[in-house]
């Protein structure tokens, strides 16, 4: 059984996101890593008497998706902030993909930010469906912007995540109130290393 280790991220000073905010957020990420490991260990222990522990096993299996996805989504999130902000990828592969779906890069950004303002806790995800495209004909993957409730509800199966924005309150509440979510979203994009997003294509 694999034991996961929390990753270290090379984060610069961020504009609009304080060191305290990042410290708190990284602490929560470490919690997801720890609970992913703990749930796997618990599951193995419970399975030693699977008949007696049937309901507990069910509960642990359901919880594992929440903790594991929480771990992975946070890794995607923090990787996007490493090494400092970079220019928007206009005229590059990502621009072509999102423009094909949303008309142009600005429309994509507006749609992404509007989705991020969804009430409740969750994530805003840009992902692509690479199934069934013919690159020889110049076809590009289909882009999707999705709202993911919690960490695991609403994920589009077998699509590749390119961009992930954490909209749980723990991601911004040190620096912003819930009424200031839009300011947090703008701060995120000011610090986004678009080259990391591009490399995921």
Structure confidence by residue, pLDDT tens digits, 138-158: 899 999 999 999 999 999 999
Q: What is the mean pLDDT of residues 53-80?
A: 96
Per-residue model confidence (pLDDT) at position 170: 96
CA torsion 146→104→169→58, rounded to 10°? Answer: 20
% the chain with pLDDT above 70 = 100
Radius of gyration in angstroms for the set of CA atoms belonging to the chain, rounded to a whole number: 18
Task: Indicate whether 133 pLDDT > 90.
Answer: no
The pTM for the full model equals 0.95
User: Measured between alpha carbons, how far is residue 190 from residues 15, 80, 126, 184, 199 in Å?
Assistant: 7, 11, 17, 10, 19
Cα angle 124-28-179, degrees, rounded to a multiple of 5? 50
| Average predicted confidence (pLDDT) for the chain | 96
Per-residue model confidence (pLDDT) at position 50: 92
Structural domain spans, the chain = 19-79, 93-199
Q: What is the mean pLDDT of residues 67-72?
A: 97
Per-residue model confidence (pLDDT) at position 111: 98
Q: What are phi and psi of 148, to 5 degrees?
A: -105, 110
Task: Indicate whether 1 pLDDT > 90.
Answer: no
- Rounded to an integer, what distance in angstroms lies between the CA atom of residue 137 and that of residue 101? 17
pLDDT per position as a tens digit, 157-201:
999 999 999 999 999 999 999 999 999 999 999 999 999 999 999
Q: How confident is the model at residue 89 (pLDDT cuts 50, 70, 90)?
A: very high
In this structure, are strands 160-166 and 142-149 parallel, antiparallel, or unpaired?
unpaired
Per-residue model confidence (pLDDT) at position 134: 84
Select from 3.55.40.20, 3.40.309.10, 3.40.50.740, 3.40.50.300 the CATH code of 93-199: 3.55.40.20
């Amino acid at each position: 059984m694999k034991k996961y280790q929390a990753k270290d991220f090379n984060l610069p000073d961020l504009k609009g996101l304080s060191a305290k905010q990042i410290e708190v957020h990284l602490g929560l990420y470490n919690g997801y890593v720890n609970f992913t490991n703990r749930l796997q260990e618990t599951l193995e222990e419970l399975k030693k008497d699977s008949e007696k522990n049937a309901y507990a096993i069910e509960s642990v299996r359901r919880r594992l998706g929440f903790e594991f996805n929480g771990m992975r989504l946070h890794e995607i999130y923090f990787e996007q902030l490493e090494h400092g902000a970079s220019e928007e990828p206009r005229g590059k592969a990502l621009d072509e993909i999102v423009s094909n779906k949303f008309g142009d890069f600005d429309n994509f950004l507006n749609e992404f930010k509007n989705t991020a303002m969804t009430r409740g806790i969750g994530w805003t995800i840009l992902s692509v469906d690479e199934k069934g495209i013919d690159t020889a004909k110049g076809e590009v993957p289909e882009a999707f912007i999705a709202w993911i409730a919690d960490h695991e509800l609403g994920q589009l199966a077998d699509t590749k995540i390119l961009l992930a924005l954490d909209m749980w309150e723990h991601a911004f509440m040190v620096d912003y109130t819930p009424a200031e979510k839009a300011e947090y979203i703008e701060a995120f994009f000011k610090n986004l290393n678009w080259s990391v997003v591009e490399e995921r294509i």
